[in-house]
Chains A and B, each alone.
Chain A
């Protein structure tokens, strides 16, 4: 009989606090190790200078800790490794204090590579690459200078000239020449200074090309490192002379090491700031999105993500498309590619937002700079989740309205075309036939000698003219021929002449699209006949003008007789204008006259 043993292990209880995870422990261990290395390397000097020892060990350890922490992040991995290398180099640099063995010859290399690693590390922060050509050129130049100069040092000198004891130091010195050595020192000093200054310039050049958020993060580090670089070059100057005491040299190293502490400190500050940003983003989103509206959600996202170019589209399930904040369908493939424009900082990318139940909710399009801060974007979208869901409902209502509006608009367009056709039919068909009949009656009247027939023909003609008048009134209501040819002004002039009330016209000569002219014409006719018949106006002023992309028409009259006008009095008018995204305002009351103001977009 076989026995099956199932081992159920109890879940490991977590003893340490959340922040004290494996990464933190690893970082602290690395810091301690590097500090230990520095302690050993500089022991002869530390014995007499405990203060300097403390500063240097803290600086080395701090740099190593930041390095390891950065190395755990995806994009900042290289920067982290370079910082770790820099901290080891700085510790190794102190081997010079033994004044024996290979320590002194190694020290200038260690110092040079320390600055190199630090500089390149910062250039790679936070994207993990040398993004700009200037960065790469500077890095190449720095590599050459920081290798050649320490080499030229020992090639042309004896150790005594370089602050070391001759007998115990391993120092090959193949071509010792004091004058040449002095020249090498001077040239090196100038090159170091140039390197430091050009590094500051390279850092400044990067700033304008960064997104707002990234600039906020990089600015302190850039400032700190520019300061470190220049102070290093300046403090290096006095020791670039022949025959200085070893103590002076090491003292300069202490100062340089102390200044370097700035770099890890500012990096930590930036990291903290980012983390605080992620933590506070929820509160800010909630504050900025109340009360929820489509635009407010978008503006809140723009605000918390420091990206004024951010765009937001909502999924409209009924229409099965994404719509913009005004409810208009947007041309976005539901299965879009993430990177729509992979151009680094200048590029753009899209992020799909889904609801808690996994349904499509929205799409955010962001500037390339935010690619490096996806956690921040994620935090903002999660915090704004409720607001986004509410806004999506609003957006889909907008989308529905938009559909109704465009359907109505198509209807108005179809109606305009139909009116034109009808008017033409009346003109070509019925009217011509009646007119021909009139001419025939005229002929009959002319040829007959019978006075009774003549009289009958004349009566028929008179009746015919009446009928023609009625037919024409109908055709004019449908679509006046003058409107299509000469526009609103002349067409309204004819209307005004027929009203029998004094009408002042102030109408722009500009032409607009067929449906706008046709709609406004019938709206104005309606308003005019309202003014005359209902408000019993004796004087009417009609003004039509285009102002900043909107066509504004105003009918004001002195009609004090009727009650105050409202949309209910002119229902056809309001509906037609709304179909073209226009609106109507009424103003007036007994004793004040009446004003109907219509405006609609005309571009």
Chain B
């Protein structure tokens, strides 16, 4: 797997590149800014670009901007945005238009090699990756406690994995369930929570659009 990195902090960038190289992932470009990365990968796009969310000059959403530009030019490339903070609005901003091959991972989880490798692989395949912490905080935020109470324990686990961007097969593998059972759970969740997906009827097959629908539902406060 060929990877490009954009990260303004030299020390973290260095450590990240070492980590990736150690576990056998080839780092083709190591840039200090989003602009630099977009310029340097222009001729030969990598499989996945890892981009820091907070970079100069404003330290706000430079990562999202760079990810957008990169995906515009190289639609086949996967983008994994790293953030030091668990900020849902930023993540939603990233997935708004293009729920394909993008991921949002907290930097804390990057230090776990297996976590990182699995996220990179999923993004490369065109899946959506959402950090489990983001999802669990949304689920725990109790915006929707009445509706969530209708779900069984197992259904809640499926919902969380769905929100993290896992496919039915991925969910099945993690929970040791058959593909058929996962499908039944997904359909039940969509019906119980009355989630309407832009991807078609309840329980859509496209897991990426499904992620968006679930996240939107989880985030929506009653007042909005």
Give chain A's interface residues, CB within 8 Å of chain B.
Answer: 424, 427-428, 431-433, 435-443, 445-447, 461, 464-465, 468-469, 472, 476, 480-482, 484-486, 490, 493-494, 496-498, 500-506, 541
Contacts and interface: CB of A to CB of B under 8 A. Distances in A.
A440 B21 CA distance: 12
A556 to B, nearest CB: 12
Contacts of B18: 439-440, 443
Contacts of A503: 221
B223 A464 contact: no
B177 interface: no
Contacts of B221: 493, 496, 503-505
Given A436-B15, A485-B60, A504-B222, A494 B87 contact: yes
Given A481-B54, A505-B221, A497 B88 contact: yes
A526 B143 CA distance: 21
B15 A428 contact: no
Nearest to B92: A490
Nearest to A466: B108
A505 B219 CA distance: 12
A468 B106 CA distance: 11
Given A439-B19, A446-B23, A432 B12 contact: yes
B138 interface: yes
A133 B138 CA distance: 80
B84 A464 contact: no
Given A424-B59, A485-B61, A496-B141, A439 B110 contact: yes
Nearest to B13: A436
A504 B60 contact: no
A446 B22 contact: yes
B179 interface: no
B16 interface: yes
B140 interface: yes
Contacts of B15: 435-440, 443
Given A442-B112, A443-B18, A502-B142, A494 B89 contact: yes
B12 A482 contact: no
A492 to B, nearest CB: 10
B194 interface: no
B84 A472 contact: yes
A338 B206 CA distance: 81
Contact of B12 (A436, A445, A501): A436
Contact of B60 (A440, A447, A465, A484): A484
B14 A436 contact: yes
A171 B87 CA distance: 112
Nearest to A423: B59
B111 A494 contact: no
B140 A435 contact: no
A461 B19 CA distance: 14
A432 to B, nearest CB: 4
A525 to B, nearest CB: 16
Contacts of A437: 15
A501 B143 CA distance: 8
A447 B14 CA distance: 17
B11 interface: yes
B141 A497 contact: yes
17 contacts: A427-B59, A431-B84, A436-B14, A438-B111, A439-B12, A440-B15, A442-B116, A476-B85, A480-B85, A481-B59, A493-B88, A494-B87, A497-B138, A502-B142, A504-B223, A505-B224, A541-B223
A464 B111 contact: yes
A500 B140 contact: yes
B223 A461 contact: no
Interface in B99-150: 107-108, 110-113, 116, 137-138, 140-143, 145
Contacts of B137: 497-498
B191 interface: no
A468 B109 CA distance: 11
Contacts of B86: 494
A58 B162 CA distance: 111
Interface string B5-29: 0001101101110110011000000
B19 A490 contact: no
Given A428-B9, A482-B90, A442 B111 contact: yes
Given A427-B59, A436-B14, A443-B15, 6 more contacts: A442-B110, A442-B111, A482-B90, A485-B58, A493-B89, A500-B142
Nearest to A507: B223
Contacts of B9: 428, 432, 435-436
A236 to B, nearest CB: 85
